[in-house]
Amino acid sequence: MARMYKSRKGKSGSDRPHVSEAPAWSNKDKAGITSLILDLARSGNSTAQIGTILRDQHAVPDVRLILGMRIGQVLRDNDMAGAYPEDMMNLMRQAVAIINHLGAGNHKDIHNKRALEITEAKIRRLANYYKDEKRLPADWRYKREELRLMVE
């Protein structure tokens, strides 16, 4: 989504290897991994942080190969997911930070005004996707005035 607003071309980066089962050296205890995910979520880690901790400290290269579902799905099944999807919540936090910056005497900062417009467009686009996926109510609308209440 960010490439839409950049002058650069292409999408660089490496891809994961195409494998269908976890390696022999990895931790394959389903119940243990699920309890680890729930414990890490209770301690306030995001799904990306949970995945990094599982990879680096517990020898779980890919949770989906072992459990058959993503970390976010495990949290949703155990009613530990937030009210909003994590990527959307991160964008809303970013928008609140930009609004605070503009309100703190930087109202002439045209670059951050543009950044706020771009961030809000991303939020609206994601909201449409999550409405189609039934993860947000159909009547949900992005409102800048209510943004602080949603993030806190």
Summarize pLDDT for 59-70 with one digit per residue, the tens: 999 999 999 999
Answer whether 45's CB lies under 8 Å from 74's CB.
no
Q: pLDDT band at residue 151, thresholds of 50, 70 and 90?
A: confident
Among 87, 88, 109, 89, residue whose Cα is nearest residue 98: 109
Amino acid at 89: M
Confidence at residue 28, expressed as pLDDT on a 0 to 100 scale: 87
> Residue 75 pLDDT more than 70?
yes
| pLDDT at residue number 111 | 95
Contact partners, residue 119, CB within 8 Å, separation at least 6: 91, 94, 95, 98
Mean pLDDT score, 93-119: 94
pLDDT tens-digit readout, 18-56: 888 888 899 889 999 999 999 999 999 999 999 999 999
What is the reported pTM? 0.80
What mean pLDDT do residues 89-99 have? 94
Q: How far apart are CA 5 and CA 85, in angstroms?
A: 23
